[in-house]
């Protein structure tokens, strides 16, 4: 391939899974491998490191975007047609199945609830109202049990899955939906953080968090990104890095594969539960 020139100051942001520290280090190692592969393929202006200062959602629509990971809900609701879908990771954590994964409904270990229905009038923690795993999947799970659009006594917004877990441990909240990758990463690398908690139920599964690039990216660039991703997953030298990330590989899904995210939203609305409340 001839050198592929892109916008000056190409942007890479891989900020969705960076906890615990071992995961952050492995994410940096993954990007280093991808960077070298892209440079070897003739791409110019590939950054040495991913940008860890930019807000994860601020990167998605940057005209300089080379690669970022987004959430399935914002991809389906506002990014589709404005970015290009590159690939979807396949994880081997419990709760993940190929390119699909769900969330765990998590409570304190001593919580006596035996089903989701028992959580009525409890306090829920959500990470973000634009999140599929922490909000949309929770809404879809609770909708059949809600009455007059309500189920919980209160809902607090924490800003992240780790903060939602901490809120349950600290007694600030009673329940949260935690995506299987976050739960799996902490379970592998910081299991003590989960000791006070237990999984009560699982949500429906939707495609995992997709990797995207800017809408103006050429077909050659998207192909090169996919080749680099597949190469990283297949390289024996990356086996430990991939194992740390729980990463089995990547698959290419179509935009329409994320329609299930919108269907879950519509189903909850049809049941009279448009917001988590």
At residue 1, the pLDDT reads 37
Rounded to an integer, what distance in angstroms lies between the CA atom of residue 13 and that of residue 27? Answer: 10
Domains of the chain from N-terminus onward: 11-92+207-259 (3.40.190.10), 97-206+262-270 (3.40.190.10)
Contact of 219 with 225, CB cutoff 8 Å: no
At residue 86, the pLDDT reads 98
Q: What are phi and psi of 263, to 5 degrees?
A: -65, -40
At residue 240, the pLDDT reads 98
Q: What does 112-155 look like in DSSP terms, one character per residue? A: ---SGGGGTTPEEEES-TT-IIIIIHHHHHHGGG-BTTB--SEE
Contact of 219 with 85, CB cutoff 8 Å: no
At residue 6, the pLDDT reads 60
Rounded to an integer, what distance in angstroms lies between the CA atom of residue 143 and that of residue 152? Answer: 11
Rounded to an integer, what distance in angstroms lies between the CA atom of residue 129 and that of residue 127? Answer: 7
Nearest to 231, CA basis, from 52, 71, 75, 87? 87
Prediction pTM value: 0.94
Task: Tell me the mean pLDDT per 10 residues along the chain, length 277.
Answer: 60 97 98 98 95 95 98 97 98 96 98 98 97 98 98 97 97 98 98 98 98 97 98 98 98 97 98 98
At residue 9, the pLDDT reads 82
């Amino acid at each position: 391939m001839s050198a592929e020139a892109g916008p000056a100051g190409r942007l890479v942001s891989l900020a969705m899974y960076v906890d615990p520290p071992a995961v952050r280090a492995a994410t940096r190692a993954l990007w280093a491998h991808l960077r070298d592969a892209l440079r070897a393929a003739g791409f110019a202006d590939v950054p040495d490191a991913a940008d860890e200062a930019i807000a994860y959602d601020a990167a998605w629509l940057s005209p300089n975007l080379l690669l970022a990971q987004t959430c399935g809900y914002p991809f389906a609701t506002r990014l589709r047609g404005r970015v290009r879908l590159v690939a979807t990771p396949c994880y081997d954590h419990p709760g993940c199945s190929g390119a699909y994964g769900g969330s765990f409904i998590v409570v304190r270990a001593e919580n006596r609830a035996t089903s989701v229905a028992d959580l009525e009038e409890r306090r829920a923690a959500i990470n973000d109202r634009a999140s599929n795993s922490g909000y949309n999947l929770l809404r879809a799970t609770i909708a059949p049990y809600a009455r007059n659009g309500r189920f919980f006594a209160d809902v607090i917004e924490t800003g992240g899955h780790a903060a939602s877990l901490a809120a349950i441990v600290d007694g600030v909240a009673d329940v949260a939906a935690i995506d299987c990758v976050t739960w799996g990463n902490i379970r592998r690398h910081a299991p003590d953080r989960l000791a006070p908690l237990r999984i009560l139920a699982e949500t429906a599964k939707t495609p995992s968090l997709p990797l995207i690039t800017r809408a103006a990216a050429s077909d050659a660039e998207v192909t090169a990104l996919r080749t680099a991703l597949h190469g990283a997953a297949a390289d024996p030298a990356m086996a430990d890095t991939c194992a740390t990330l729980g990463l089995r590989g990547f698959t290419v899904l179509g935009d329409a594969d994320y329609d299930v995210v919108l269907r879950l939203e519509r189903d909850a609305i049809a049941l009279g539960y448009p917001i988590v409340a």
